[in-house]
Homo-oligomer: A and B are copies of this chain.
Amino acid sequence: METSLPAISVATRAGASGTLKPESADGPNMTGRPLDVLEETLDTPVTVHLKDGTAHFGVLAGYDQHMNVVLDPTELEGSTDDEVEDTTIIRGDNVVSINV
């Protein structure tokens, strides 16, 4: 006999972050969901636009379900005005959009 509770686990994680595909075949699809796109974008350069009007350019080194992000300086020669100089953690509630 087994009393397993996989449904709770999946539901809670899906509810919190939207990053796990629903198991049920007839649930919403949400193709290319925002956090899935961030996952695919790891280790590539992005521009993050903030509510204060500034933009930050760097390699996406990490993120979480709140859209908090970590940007690393690129190793490209020369840098743009927007490029981060050091590893920078940006709190998600400041983010307007991310160009990938």
Contacts and interface: CB of A to CB of B under 8 A. Distances in A.
Contacts of A42: 29-31
Nearest to A54: B96
A79 interface: no
A89 B38 contact: yes
A81 interface: no
A67 B8 CA distance: 23
Nearest to A85: B99
A18 to B, nearest CB: 3
Interface in A1-31: 1, 3-20, 27-31
A63 B32 CA distance: 7
Nearest to A27: B20
A65 B99 contact: no
Interface string A31-60: 111111111001100000011100010000
Given A13-B14, A87-B37, A63 B30 contact: yes
A97 B93 contact: no
